[in-house]
Protein backbone atom coordinates (compact mmCIF):
# COMPACT_ATOMS: atom_id res chain seq x y z
CA UNK A 1 0.00 0.00 0.00
CA UNK A 2 1.40 3.43 -0.95
CA UNK A 3 2.08 6.28 1.46
CA UNK A 4 -0.77 8.23 -0.09
CA UNK A 5 -3.35 5.54 0.69
CA UNK A 6 -1.90 5.12 4.22
CA UNK A 7 -2.39 8.81 4.87
CA UNK A 8 -5.97 8.70 3.58
CA UNK A 9 -6.79 5.96 6.09
CA UNK A 10 -5.66 8.04 9.07
CA UNK A 11 -8.30 9.62 11.32
CA UNK A 12 -7.53 13.34 11.15
CA UNK A 13 -7.81 15.71 14.09
CA UNK A 14 -10.63 17.55 12.34
CA UNK A 15 -12.52 14.27 11.90
CA UNK A 16 -12.08 13.53 15.61
CA UNK A 17 -13.48 16.97 16.45
CA UNK A 18 -16.51 16.43 14.20
CA UNK A 19 -17.11 13.02 15.75
CA UNK A 20 -16.93 14.37 19.29
CA UNK A 21 -19.42 17.18 18.63
CA UNK A 22 -22.24 14.84 17.57
CA UNK A 23 -24.80 13.79 20.19
CA UNK A 24 -25.70 10.12 20.56
CA UNK A 25 -27.99 8.82 17.84
CA UNK A 26 -26.98 5.16 18.04
CA UNK A 27 -29.37 2.69 16.42
CA UNK A 28 -28.20 -0.76 17.50
CA UNK A 29 -30.69 -3.43 16.60
CA UNK A 30 -30.87 -7.05 17.82
CA UNK A 31 -27.67 -9.00 17.33
CA UNK A 32 -24.38 -9.98 18.90
CA UNK A 33 -23.63 -6.40 20.11
CA UNK A 34 -27.15 -5.55 21.29
CA UNK A 35 -26.97 -3.18 24.26
CA UNK A 36 -23.18 -2.92 24.05
CA UNK A 37 -21.02 0.20 23.87
CA UNK A 38 -18.92 1.41 20.98
CA UNK A 39 -15.86 0.51 23.10
CA UNK A 40 -16.90 -3.14 23.06
CA UNK A 41 -17.53 -3.15 19.31
CA UNK A 42 -14.28 -1.39 18.40
CA UNK A 43 -12.10 -3.49 20.73
CA UNK A 44 -13.60 -6.67 19.26
CA UNK A 45 -13.20 -5.35 15.71
CA UNK A 46 -9.57 -4.37 16.27
CA UNK A 47 -8.63 -7.88 17.43
CA UNK A 48 -5.01 -8.57 18.43
CA UNK A 49 -5.75 -8.74 22.19
CA UNK A 50 -2.99 -8.51 24.81
CA UNK A 51 -4.19 -11.83 26.20
CA UNK A 52 -7.07 -14.26 25.69
CA UNK A 53 -8.73 -17.15 27.50
CA UNK A 54 -11.14 -20.00 26.86
CA UNK A 55 -13.27 -20.82 23.85
CA UNK A 56 -16.86 -20.10 22.86
CA UNK A 57 -17.67 -23.82 23.02
CA UNK A 58 -17.32 -24.13 26.80
CA UNK A 59 -16.15 -21.44 29.19
CA UNK A 60 -16.59 -18.56 26.77
CA UNK A 61 -13.87 -16.70 24.87
CA UNK A 62 -12.33 -13.68 26.63
CA UNK A 63 -10.05 -11.02 25.17
CA UNK A 64 -8.03 -8.58 27.25
CA UNK A 65 -7.19 -5.23 25.67
CA UNK A 66 -4.87 -2.93 27.62
CA UNK A 67 -5.11 0.82 27.11
CA UNK A 68 -3.86 2.86 25.37
CA UNK A 69 -5.49 1.13 22.42
CA UNK A 70 -4.98 2.82 19.08
CA UNK A 71 -7.59 3.05 16.34
CA UNK A 72 -5.18 3.99 13.58
CA UNK A 73 -7.35 3.66 10.50
CA UNK A 74 -10.92 4.26 9.38
CA UNK A 75 -11.86 0.63 8.68
CA UNK A 76 -13.08 -0.17 12.22
CA UNK A 77 -14.78 3.22 12.51
CA UNK A 78 -16.65 2.60 9.25
CA UNK A 79 -17.67 -0.84 10.52
CA UNK A 80 -19.00 0.69 13.75
CA UNK A 81 -20.97 3.28 11.80
CA UNK A 82 -22.43 0.62 9.54
CA UNK A 83 -23.48 -1.43 12.58
CA UNK A 84 -25.38 1.55 13.97
CA UNK A 85 -23.03 3.37 16.35
CA UNK A 86 -23.16 7.14 16.11
CA UNK A 87 -20.17 9.39 15.58
CA UNK A 88 -20.36 10.83 19.08
CA UNK A 89 -20.13 7.42 20.79
CA UNK A 90 -17.34 6.32 18.44
CA UNK A 91 -15.38 9.44 19.36
CA UNK A 92 -15.98 8.81 23.08
CA UNK A 93 -14.71 5.25 22.63
CA UNK A 94 -11.53 6.41 20.91
CA UNK A 95 -10.96 8.90 23.73
CA UNK A 96 -11.50 6.15 26.32
CA UNK A 97 -8.96 3.96 24.52
CA UNK A 98 -6.35 6.71 24.96
CA UNK A 99 -6.62 6.57 28.76
CA UNK A 100 -5.60 4.05 31.40
CA UNK A 101 -7.02 0.68 32.33
CA UNK A 102 -8.49 -1.55 29.65
CA UNK A 103 -11.45 -3.61 28.51
CA UNK A 104 -12.30 -7.32 28.68
CA UNK A 105 -14.46 -8.56 25.81
CA UNK A 106 -16.37 -11.85 26.12
CA UNK A 107 -18.05 -13.87 23.36
CA UNK A 108 -20.33 -16.63 24.65
CA UNK A 109 -21.47 -19.86 23.03
CA UNK A 110 -24.50 -18.08 21.55
CA UNK A 111 -22.26 -15.60 19.74
CA UNK A 112 -23.23 -12.60 21.89
CA UNK A 113 -20.44 -10.18 22.80
CA UNK A 114 -20.18 -8.16 26.01
CA UNK A 115 -17.51 -5.82 27.27
CA UNK A 116 -16.37 -4.65 30.70
CA UNK A 117 -14.31 -1.47 31.08
CA UNK A 118 -11.73 -1.04 33.86
CA UNK A 119 -10.54 2.39 34.95
CA UNK A 120 -7.02 1.29 35.89
CA UNK A 121 -4.55 -1.53 35.35
CA UNK A 122 -4.85 -2.83 38.93
CA UNK A 123 -8.59 -3.53 38.57
CA UNK A 124 -8.01 -5.03 35.13
CA UNK A 125 -5.28 -7.35 36.46
CA UNK A 126 -7.49 -8.48 39.35
CA UNK A 127 -10.41 -9.26 37.06
CA UNK A 128 -8.21 -11.07 34.56
CA UNK A 129 -6.67 -13.17 37.33
CA UNK A 130 -10.14 -14.27 38.45
CA UNK A 131 -11.12 -15.11 34.89
CA UNK A 132 -7.93 -17.12 34.40
CA UNK A 133 -8.70 -19.17 37.53
CA UNK A 134 -12.27 -19.73 36.34
CA UNK A 135 -11.00 -20.89 32.94
CA UNK A 136 -8.52 -23.27 34.57
CA UNK A 137 -11.21 -24.67 36.87
CA UNK A 138 -13.63 -25.09 33.96
CA UNK A 139 -11.00 -27.12 32.09
CA UNK A 140 -10.14 -29.22 35.17
CA UNK A 141 -6.80 -30.86 36.01
CA UNK A 142 -4.45 -31.48 33.08
CA UNK A 143 -1.74 -34.09 32.63
CA UNK A 144 1.10 -31.90 33.89
CA UNK A 145 -0.78 -30.68 36.98
CA UNK A 146 -0.26 -31.83 40.57
CA UNK A 147 -2.98 -33.11 42.91
CA UNK A 148 -3.24 -33.89 46.63
CA UNK A 149 -5.74 -35.55 48.93
CA UNK A 150 -3.90 -34.99 52.21
CA UNK A 151 -1.78 -31.83 51.72
CA UNK A 152 1.22 -33.92 52.80
CA UNK A 153 1.84 -35.67 49.47
CA UNK A 154 1.42 -34.26 45.99
CA UNK A 155 1.14 -36.47 42.93
CA UNK A 156 1.13 -36.26 39.18
CA UNK A 157 -2.37 -35.59 37.92
CA UNK A 158 -4.59 -38.68 37.97
CA UNK A 159 -2.07 -41.01 39.66
CA UNK A 160 -2.68 -40.53 43.42
CA UNK A 161 0.45 -42.47 44.39
CA UNK A 162 -0.22 -45.73 42.61
CA UNK A 163 3.53 -45.91 41.95
CA UNK A 164 6.46 -44.57 43.94
CA UNK A 165 7.52 -42.30 41.09
CA UNK A 166 4.04 -40.74 40.98
CA UNK A 167 4.86 -38.71 44.11
CA UNK A 168 6.32 -35.33 43.11
CA UNK A 169 6.51 -33.61 46.53
CA UNK A 170 6.37 -34.80 50.14
CA UNK A 171 5.74 -32.06 52.73
CA UNK A 172 8.02 -32.41 55.80
CA UNK A 173 6.42 -32.31 59.24
CA UNK A 174 5.65 -28.83 60.60
CA UNK A 175 6.22 -27.23 57.20
CA UNK A 176 3.81 -25.10 55.20
CA UNK A 177 2.79 -27.09 52.13
CA UNK A 178 2.39 -23.94 50.11
CA UNK A 179 5.88 -22.66 50.94
CA UNK A 180 7.38 -26.04 50.06
CA UNK A 181 5.60 -26.16 46.70
CA UNK A 182 6.69 -22.64 45.82
CA UNK A 183 10.29 -23.50 46.76
CA UNK A 184 10.27 -26.69 44.67
CA UNK A 185 8.77 -24.95 41.64
CA UNK A 186 11.21 -22.04 41.86
CA UNK A 187 14.12 -24.45 42.25
CA UNK A 188 13.01 -26.56 39.26
CA UNK A 189 11.88 -23.51 37.29
CA UNK A 190 8.68 -25.41 36.61
CA UNK A 191 5.25 -24.00 37.43
CA UNK A 192 2.03 -25.96 37.21
CA UNK A 193 -1.50 -25.88 38.57
CA UNK A 194 -2.18 -27.64 41.86
CA UNK A 195 -5.51 -29.22 42.87
CA UNK A 196 -7.01 -30.69 46.00
CA UNK A 197 -9.12 -33.83 45.63
CA UNK A 198 -11.95 -34.45 48.11
CA UNK A 199 -13.09 -37.82 49.45
CA UNK A 200 -15.84 -37.74 46.83
CA UNK A 201 -13.44 -37.05 43.98
CA UNK A 202 -14.30 -33.37 43.57
CA UNK A 203 -11.36 -31.16 42.62
CA UNK A 204 -10.59 -27.57 43.64
CA UNK A 205 -7.87 -25.33 42.26
CA UNK A 206 -5.33 -24.26 44.89
CA UNK A 207 -3.84 -20.80 44.59
CA UNK A 208 -0.35 -20.56 46.01
CA UNK A 209 -0.65 -16.80 46.51
CA UNK A 210 -3.68 -17.11 48.81
CA UNK A 211 -4.27 -18.56 52.27
CA UNK A 212 -5.99 -21.94 52.55
CA UNK A 213 -7.55 -23.71 55.50
CA UNK A 214 -4.93 -26.47 55.33
CA UNK A 215 -1.96 -24.13 55.83
Model confidence pLDDT, tens digit, residues 70-93: 998 789 999 999 999 999 999 999
pLDDT band at residue 4, thresholds of 50, 70 and 90? Answer: very low
Give the global pTM.
Answer: 0.65
**C-beta of residue 69 within 8 angstroms of C-beta of residue 91:** no
Q: How many CA atoms lie within 13 A of 62 on its CB side?
A: 19
In this prediction, residue 6 carries a pLDDT of 45
**pLDDT tens per residue across span 98-156:** 999 999 999 998 899 999 999 999 999 999 999 988 888 777 888 888 999 889 999 88
Q: In 3-state terms, what secondary structure has residue 196? A: strand
Tell which residue, 6, 80, 84, 20, has the closest CA to residue 44: 80
In this prediction, residue 26 carries a pLDDT of 92
Tell which residue, 133, 164, 163, 170, has the closest CA to residue 53: 133
In this prediction, residue 1 carries a pLDDT of 36
- Which strand ranges, in their side-by-side order, compose the sheet holding 146-148? 167-170, 153-156, 146-148, 194-197, 203-206
- The pLDDT of 173-190, averaged and rounded, is 92
Amino acid sequence: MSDESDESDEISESDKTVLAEVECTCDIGPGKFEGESAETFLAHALGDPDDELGSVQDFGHYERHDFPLRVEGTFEVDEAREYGYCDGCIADAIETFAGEGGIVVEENDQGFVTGTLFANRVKLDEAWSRLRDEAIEAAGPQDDDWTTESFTRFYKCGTYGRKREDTVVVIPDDCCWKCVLIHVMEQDRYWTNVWSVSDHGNVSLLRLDQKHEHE
